[in-house]
Structure 1
């Protein structure tokens, strides 16, 4: 008997059912809205069943029949994933789909490199990548949209397992011609009168502000940005200093301005880089291989931004 659907159609349908809108599902799975709409229409036509109720400007909701179809579709997709695991176990090779996420500040540095080296080592793995802030990544893990996240140990909930791989102390970023730029180390007290450019991302901002609070200081915030590249350019052009935990890759900002990276001294909490996964998830062979691969690259110092200057 010929199948009346494709797994891709089911994946798109489940993504919309989880998201509550085609637009949000499109963002989450990185597939165009027309492609998702077409897949759902094909399913509804093929099965003669209305799966969603369309609400003007308020997204979609599953019909009673759609809810039953949704549960069945998730079961089919879960079983298909289990088949990939069985194939991996029998063949002894890591194969099948794997989606990993990365913190938006880390993504430009590590995702392409990790994906390329992992796929070179495990050619039967089908790898895709997502990015987001810390809150986004936690939700992606809980919704099983990603298998693992490359991130920091910031507010990790009890239902998420975090495996630390590297300790990253905070570093000050200054204009290269700043009077303090030639120092071997700086305290936050040295910077207390300097204008501060805050990396304003959920959870991350709380970490950076807590460093000042622990020292009894209130930073002079003059700019806020969610983009590390914007922060670097602002610093290079003399608008203030910034903080990071990533090691220097270049002494140039994106606009070409010169930067200086100076370690902070004192009893300041470092960030820990590592791997976050769902506590309850079965660890497939491909996921286990990916985690081991990343751990080996960190240990070898071959992941950009995580090595020692």
Structure 2
């Protein structure tokens, strides 16, 4: 059980829905749903009765609310008691352009709750240049994407924060929108919006070449957000990762093996002791 899960639980209680609760704690709706599901599995009870527009506490949920509020109150008191002795810390962060921003924002919010005087500067970088920067110790921490069998730079500790699947983003009125999963081969007759980014070229296009699949590319864009905007307008579908999905489109994961990516945190040796002593609890729960 993590403090962040208790905060997610209380956010849903206070707002009355998973969607508004996710907005309150600055994470995506699927992320808060996953957090609560894991909490329910650990407790062995159902905390909410889930409706289309609201979430109501069960009897067990009402009991747990009392405990959650008490724990968070005590946690806040303990944290406050140490704030006066906390020295200002500044971290230099590097973030790959294909890293999901909602998950990054949520994690940084957790950092600043644990270390109130923490400040940071963020530098965006291309995914193919990030590992080089980390290896040269230009940053204290770097958030990026790694893949199976990828060699990681020496001199930096890599922590896997989670995994995301690749799939296709389609409009809700598309004939594929009812599918729970899909294969690359099933996309050959669909109008595709290609994203001219490093990850798309080196993961998606390479996989298509390996399987001798040629997609019907109608449009090409440089940004994930632009591709999704075109999808919302009904101009085609696009291949992307689940963490990059926006509201207004349906994400369908691929059913082929190996179509996943890892959310990875790189820590430089100079910052490792500070992160281990101060931030390990929220990193471990990511």
TM-score greater than 0.5 by the shorter chain: yes
1:204-223 mapped onto 2 (5 Å cutoff): 204-223=200-219
Give the superposition deviation at 1:274.
1.5
Q: Which runs of 5+ in 1 are unaligned?
A: 1-90, 253-258, 299-309
8 A Cα contact 2:167 2:241, kept in partner: yes
2:275 aligned residue? 287
Give the alignment partner of residue 99 of structure 2, picking from 84, 106, 112: 106
Aligned length: 200
Q: 1:271 to 1:248 in 2, by over 3 A?
A: closer
Give the alignment partner of residue 262 of structure 1, picking from 238, 244, 252: 252
What RMSD in Å do the two structures reach over aligned CA positions? 2.8
Give the alignment partner of residue 126 of structure 1, picking from 119, 123, 138: 119
CA distance in 2 between partners of 1:268 and 1:92 (Å) = 47
1:50-199 mapped onto 2 (5 Å cutoff): 96-106=89-99, 108-154=101-147, 156-159=151-154, 160-199=156-195
Q: 1:123 to 1:232 in 2, by over 3 A?
A: same
CA distance in 2 between partners of 1:244 and 1:294 (Å) = 27
Normalised TM-score (structure 2): 0.60
CA offset digits 1:127-179 (Å, max 9, x no partner): 22222221232243244332111111145543254322212121210121111
Give the superposition deviation at 1:190.
0.9
Q: Could you say what secondary structure the match of 2:212 adopts?
A: coil
Give the superposition deviation at 1:265.
0.9
8 A Cα contact 2:98 2:145, kept in partner: no
Q: Which runs of 5+ in 2 are unaligned?
A: 1-83
CA offset digits 1:81-133 (Å, max 9, x no partner): xxxxxxxxxx9968522122222233532333322221121123232222222
Give the superposition deviation at 1:288.
2.9
Give the superposition deviation at 1:297.
4.1
